[in-house]
Structure 1
Amino acid sequence: MAVVAGQQNFDIYLSSTPPKQLRFRILNADQTFKITISVYYFSSNRVDVYKNGRFELPTNGAYDSNGLFKVNDYNTNLDSYMPKIANQSGTNLAVREHRKVYATMAGADYLDFKMTAVLFLKFGVPAITESDFFRPENLVQNFADLFGIDPSRIRRVNIIGESRRKRQTQGIKFIELIIYDNPSVDDSSITPEDLKSEDNLNQLYANITNWYTTGQLQQMASDRLNVTLSSLQVEKPLSDSANEIKKLDKIRIIQDADNCREQSPCLTQPILVVLDESNKTVTGLGSSTNPWKIRAKIVSSTNLNMEIILESEASLGDDGFVQFSELGLSQVANSFRLEFELVAPEAVSNPNVNSVQQKAISCSQAVLDLKHMDDQLIVDTDELFNLTVLIVDKYTQTAVNNISWRNHEWRAAVRVYNLPKSQPTGSLTSSSNLVQIDLETKSVKLIDLFLDAPGMYIVEVTIISIGNEYILNKKSNVILVKSPTQSITLSESEPPILYLKFDQNITQNTDMIEVYKAIIYNSLIAKHDLLLTRAISVYDFNMANLAFSLSSDPSSLVTELNNGFVLVDGINLAEATLDDQSVDVKVLTVVDDSNLDGSIDGTSSNACKLEIKQMMLFFIQNKNTRKYQRIQNILSTCTFARN
């Protein structure tokens, strides 16, 4: 939102790519309040302007006798086409060279700017081409026949003579073709017809660029039209740049596949690039519907049973590069070699481009891990539940391709994990002792489990392959077991009311995060009969937060925090905030002999003296006289905080 003054011009630049549809409205103004605006677009595609939901013809636009929307050349007298404040609201003009849309706007109206798909093509042809070829009516029909489209879709033709080009292009004329469809008249939103037109133009773009890069289009133009196409520049529908399409000549490996383990993606994935005859990258060939691809295959291996798994093909991007992401191998091999070949889209002739081979590499044994598929569970005591784990690659955490490779068979076991403190009293049982191993999903499901006492638990799942080649262990996410009379619903929309800050990093060891959550719940929530309403979060190195119902009295919780709280050995609560109020927290510390070199202030106590005397005896026996003297000096003035 911005404050604007009437009878003024305003230029609008957006900090990121504009959306397909923009709406402008002047608030608190009537029809007499008028301004002109210009909006900058990264793309030079057509932008249609709608006033109060109805399409407004641009000042250089008109419908011909066949009802086709066309735009005229404004370059001879641009100022006469430019919208002015005196014009009626909705007057507009898109200037492709400026990449701007200009419009007049009144206070009572709203304007929608809708970006519309357009395909721009620029062909180079020899200037000696017969003059009849350059007649507009002939050009439209000739290129429509070449592309296999209705001539009515080519809405504008420009011929640029050689005198307007640089010296190196002398002897060449350029033909610009602009292809688009009619705008929707009474719908400023993105309609199904708009999307259909965009898809159709993208497919036409793909066909033309594919035919040109393989030489098919040049051959068809020579055979059918007796004309030589020497160059092609295209601007893809709704893109923000033009590409010069070159003829494909070769592919080159930028990065070899490497660091491969059986049944999972190689840690180093192959990257390739397509080049023209001048070793320049061929750009502009990307397509989401019918792409060029690079196919990988094994050409030699010490293991004849090895196969490529997960991903054997990758698509060519608009930038001319091909990036594999999941190429993997099925089995171990001491040495193997990959070959990459270029594969053309459907209905496009394969170019005469040689395959390339990468260096020989090895594939090592799989390194496996387990991944839990269950979020935090909330169950009643004695209520049956299931746990599911995936067998995954340890480093990428992606599911292995085939868990029965090399005839692997699996068995599973589960037990309650013993927390370092605040362990609930319940035991874990399976009513059926069933384990479901799914080869399709690569998962192992433990069925019909139940816990018989309230609290927050963690269970440990162990998966073992027959022959003990793999023994995999994984702690579950927390499982909240409640009384059947309780109703617990955890919501992220519930704001946290208890914030805990610890004196050590509690996020570094990711294997312990769920353990910390369970200890916090059992020690601070369940122990004080509070009802959890938001899941416990651990974040920002040393922070945790949660929410519970304030309908219960939290005074006993406050007392516990006042007395200090140890999460696990070496990690103590440093600060706490409850319901936006700071809570006094006794910071607990452990005194060891290194602390005795500093000053300790406080009042003496018999317990303190007894502990120091015991330490004195230790130091005397070990002939540590310096610390013995230091202990004597602080005997009368010391305090200890105890866990």
Structure 2
Amino acid sequence: MVLRIFFTTPRRLDIYINNNYIPPLNDHVDASGKHVLKKPTTPTEYRPTISDPTGANFFDRDNQMLHVTIKGNTPIDMYTAPVVVISFGIPPVTPNEFFNSAGLVTRLALFLGVDPSKVRIVDIVRVGSVSGRRKRSTQSSTVSVEVGDPPSTVQTTPAPVTIAPALPPGSTTTTPQPGTTTPSPGAAAIQLLQEFTAKIVNALQTGSLGSQLNTTILSLNVVDPLPPPVTTWTNTANQTTTEPTTNTYSPPDKIQVKQEANAVHTQTPFPIQPKIEAVDAAGNTLSQVGHPTDPWLVTVSVKNKPADVILGGVRSVPFVAGVATFSGLSLNKPGTYELIFQVTYPTTANRFTTTGRAFSIIEKPIPVVPPPDNNKTTLIAIIVGSVVGVLVIIIVGIMVWKGLCSSTSKSAKISCEVGDAGKAPPKYTEKMNLNEYVTGPSTTAKTYEDDSVNHPHSTQDIEKSTQTDHRSHTPDSMPPPY
């Protein structure tokens, strides 16, 4: 059978049988001993068939498909090699230009400081050649190279993935158990590959890569190495797969202010913090400035800064997705300022600089404590005062009333009585001593009697009172004149 496996990104897949390396069908060793992967001239060229021996393989880079022939019961180990895949867009070239002493591969190896055997051509797309189902007619060539250790002829450690064929029906042969994973190449190896990538990217974006490789670089695509593999099949089944991404890099033409700083008061972070972007010659923002593991840094400073002025906050920030965003910037003195932004890492890119728009800042005002709410206080005072005033009036009235009821005079004595509930209010009558006209004035007692007789203001009332008084006094007593 022929097994085909799809991969989302280009990579190098090494096939081993019994720990022996099986090179792909398009592998070619040139006169200098370098391994070259030939480009197929037809869609099916180099694809293994059922008639090929077990382990025959080919990786179709246009479709990112691995083809492997499987026969018998022999396990096949597939190993994903830790490499960096770099695709250069350059003017049209021929394959021979890459393998002489002055070729691109040799110069790239010298630039990275590695043995030329660690750099090999994996794909070349020239003007008018076919890539997949489409014909490219651009006036350039795309050359893809791998940077990493070459395949080992003998695999001394178990491979990470084992492809075991199914047993024939009725077979009693024990199926080989999956091999354990190959130990990780180590953090040092992955870090070294990332350093190679960062060095190439920085050289491209600072403009020195073309001179280092002695050719014009039109574009650069990089597929980073895969992270170290897991160590057990259980972890393989449970892990979340992280595929390497393909990043496109272009040289920046300049950096410019994307968002101007806006300040108000001293000793306070700017309400609007500045942002810096890198753009190409067409004014498009670059998606990548430096490699993600080694981004460029932008540093801010104050133009013509006085000695007593202090710029606070984070003053050096990296580019993320092509934009450097500052935070927490503030100034301690009022005045009018301009900010200068400069790439400070890598040092070979310090020619990229720009200046922001001038802005003014004033002294931070002293906080003022707001006065209490006088309206609410006044309303409460009015209500309390009114209630107290009413109570005082009531108490004074009661005291005055009691004083009048208990007072005496020479002419009359007043007494106050309270009638029973439900009775008519008492009325006032006057009893006079008729002897006062004979013997002199006497005290007239004024009392309240609880009867229905009106006050003696009419003549009949006087006469009635006189008759009553005659019965209660001596016969020679005279009635009072009215």
TM-score (norm. length: structure 2): 0.53
* 8 A Cα contact 1:293 1:344, kept in partner: yes
What is the correspondence of 1:311-390 to structure 2 with a 5 Å cutoff?
Answer: 311-317=314-320, 319-324=321-326, 326-329=327-330, 331=332, 333=334, 336-346=337-347, 349-350=348-349, 352-360=351-359, 362=361
Q: Tell me how far 1:91 sits from its aligned partner.
A: 4.9
What does 1:448-487 correspond to in 2, within 5 Å?
A: none
One-letter code of the match for 1:315?
P
In 1, Cα distance between the equivalents of 2:269 and 2:218? 40
**8 Å contact from structure 1 (residues 61, 69) kept in 2:** no
1:294 to 298, 315, 326: 298
State the distance in 1 between where 2:70 and 2:297 align: 49
Q: Is the 8 A contact 1:234 1:245 kept in 2?
A: no
| Contact 2:255 2:277 survives alignment (8 Å) | yes
Counterparts in 2 of 1:111 and 1:161: CA distance versus 1, 3 Å: closer
Aligned 8 A contact 2:14 2:81 in 1: yes
Matches within 5 A, 1:183-582: 183=151, 185=155, 186-187=157-158, 188=160, 189=181, 191-193=183-185, 195-221=187-213, 227-238=214-225, 239-246=244-251, 248-258=252-262, 268-299=272-303, 304-309=308-313, 311-317=314-320, 319-324=321-326, 326-329=327-330, 331=332, 333=334, 336-346=337-347, 349-350=348-349, 352-360=351-359, 362=361
Task: Map 1:16-55 onto structure 2 (within 5 A).
Answer: 36-41=3-8, 43-48=9-14
Structure 1 position 292, deviation (Å): 1.4
* Residue-by-residue CA offset, 1:481-508 (whole Å, 9 max, x unaligned): xxxxxxxxxxxxxxxxxxxxxxxxxxxx
Q: Is 1:180 the counterpart of 2:148 in the alignment? A: yes
SS at structure 2 position matched to 1:144: helix
Distance 1:315 1:159, change over 3 A: same
Cα separation, 1, equivalents of 2:261 and 2:90: 40
Contact in 2 for aligned 1:244/1:284 (Cα 8 Å): yes
Counterpart Cα distance in 2 of 1:252 and 1:39: 42
Equivalent-residue separation in structure 2 for 1:55 and 1:265 (angstroms): 64
Structure 2: segments with no counterpart, 5+ residues: 130-134, 161-180, 226-243, 370-482
* Structure 2 partner of 1:122: 88
Determine if contact 2:4/2:65 at 8 Å carries over to the other structure. no
State the Cα distance separating 1:98 from its structure 2 match: 1.0
1:275–1:357 CA distance, 2 compared to 1 (3 A) = same
1:99 corresponds to which letter in structure 2? Q
Give a deviation string over 1:37-57, Cα, whole Å, max 9, x none.
42331x2132445679x5753
2:119 corresponds to 1:154:
yes
The Cα shift of 1:305 comes to 3.3
Offset, 1:74: 5.0
Relative distance call for 1:136 and 1:197 in structure 2 (3 A) is: farther
Deviations 1:420-479 (A, max 9, x none): xxxxxxxxxxxxxxxxxxxxxxxxxxxxxxxxxxxxxxxxxxxxxxxx999xxxxxxxxx
Deviation at 1:251, TM superposition (A): 0.9
Question: How far, CA to CA, are the matches of 1:105 and 1:126 in structure 2?
Answer: 39
Q: Is the 8 A contact 1:63 1:70 kept in 2?
A: yes
Q: How many residues align?
A: 320
Partner of 1:95: 60
TM-score normalised according to structure 1 size? 0.41
Sequence identity percentage? 18
Greater RCO structure (CA 8 Å; 6+ sep): 2
Cα distance, 1:71 vs. partner? 5.5
Change (3 A) 1:228 1:63: closer
1:295–1:329 Cα change, 3 Å: same
Whole-angstrom distance in 2 between the partners of 1:85 and 1:213: 48
Write the distance in 2 (CA, Å) between the matches of 1:296 and 1:279. Answer: 22
Deviation at 1:175, TM superposition (A): 4.5
Q: Deviations over 1:387-424 (max 9, x none)?
A: xxxxxxxxxxxxxxxxxxxxxxxxxxxxxxxxxxxxxx
CA distance in 1, matches of 2:122, 2:4: 29
Structure of higher CA gyration radius: 2
1:359 to 1:236, Cα distance in 2 relative to 1, 3 A? farther
Deviation at 1:344, TM superposition (A): 3.5
Cα 1:178–1:257, aligned 2, differ >3 Å: closer, same or farther? same
Question: Secondary structure in 2 aligned to 1:75?
Answer: coil
Say if 2:275 and 2:325, in contact at 8 Å, map to a contact too.
yes
Contact 1:264–1:366 (Cα < 8 Å) also in 2: no
Structure 1 residues 161 and 61, CA, compared in 2 at 3 Å: closer, same or farther? closer
> How far has the Cα of 1:360 moved from its partner?
1.9
Tell me which protein shows more strand as a share of its residues.
Answer: 1
1:256–1:84 CA distance, 2 compared to 1 (3 A):
farther
Q: 1:80 to 1:289 in 2, by over 3 A?
A: closer
